[in-house]
Amino acid sequence: TKLGDTLPHGFIVANDTMAVGALRALNEAKIEVPQRVSVISFNDVAVAKFTTPPLSTVHAATDQMGQTAVELLQARIKDPKHIPRQVNFKSELIMRASSL
Q: CATH number, domain at 10?
A: 3.40.50.2300
Provide mean pLDDT across the span 71-93. 91
Question: Is residue 99 situated within a structural domain?
Answer: no
Question: Is residue 23 situated within a structural domain?
Answer: yes
At 3, the pLDDT band (50, 70, 90 cuts) reads low
Give the separation between CA 95 and CA 100, rounded to whole angstroms: 9
- Predicted TM-score (pTM) of this structure: 0.81
Question: Is residue 68 situated within a structural domain?
Answer: yes
Question: Is residue 88 situated within a structural domain?
Answer: yes
User: The domain containing residue 71 runs over which residues?
Assistant: 4-94
- Say how many domains are in the chain: 1
Question: Is residue 16 situated within a structural domain?
Answer: yes
pLDDT at 1: 53
- What confidence tens digit (pLDDT) does each residue in 25-67 have? 999 999 999 999 999 999 999 999 999 999 999 999 999 999 9
